[in-house]
Amino acid sequence: VLSGCGVYDGTEIHEASAVLVHLSRGGAEVHMYAPDVPQMHVIDHSKGQPAEAESRNVLVESARIARGKITSLAKLTTADHDAVIFPGGFGAAKNLSTFAVDGKDCKVNKEVERVLKDFHKAGKPIGLCCISPVLAAKVLSGAEVTVGHEQEEGGKWPYAGTAGAIKELGAKHSHVDTKNKVVTTPAFMCETELHNIFDGIGAMVKNVLKLTGK
């Protein structure tokens, strides 16, 4: 499930690509989805600032990553899939939810909430990267997730505040929550080399596929 195209206002592209590579390597058949809604705002990634008077659609932007093969999230059903994965990027906190603005009091997009609850109820695994575990923390009571450390540690964990917010939502930090079948990885929540992020996402995908029992 994608949330746009670009780390500051949509899906983190490297994370989405890593997820797709590891799913391909694991022999999975993949379908991509995104909500057909306007983005919260558009960020000029060269400046890190909002582009005034510009608007974009989450589904249309996500199609860039999906190479055009993407479907509205409203059509995603558990009957057709063994698992669901949400890459990170600020789009998860801006377009899939209002976490970027409202923190622990955030609202989650209704289709995103439906998908998470449906997969959870069906006992099918859910994978989440980077900031996207906040979605499960908000929607799935008692889910164990990780977004990295609660302390910055000299800048290594620049988004450490998110961990505190997740704790306030009642969720714990964990990589594999076997009870709820929720698998998470910090990805770019940690300032580290790209290959480490790629490998962490690989471990998440491997565990998601393992939990499908196929």
- Tell me if residue 130 is catalytic: yes
User: Phi/psi class of residue 89: alpha, beta or left (left: φ > 0; alpha: ψ in -120 to 50)?
Assistant: left
Q: Cα 163–173–207 angle (5° rounding)? A: 125
Task: Please state, in angstroms and rounded to a whole number, the distance separating the CA atoms of residues 72 and 137.
Answer: 23
Gyration radius of the chain over CA positions = 16
CB 42 within 8 Å of CB 5: no
CA-CA distance, 150 to 186, in Å (whole number)? 12
**Angle separating helix axes 13-25 and 58-65, nearest 10 degrees:** 50
Residues 69 and 59: beta-carbon distance below 8 Å:
no
| Integer Cα distance of 198 and 174 in angstroms | 18
Task: Please state whether beta strands 70-72 and 49-50 pair in parallel, antiparallel, or not at all (unpaired).
Answer: unpaired
Closest CA to 22 of 208, 207, 206, 211: 206
* Active-site residue, selected from the candidate residues 5, 106, 129, 130: 130
Catalytic residues, by residue number, are 130
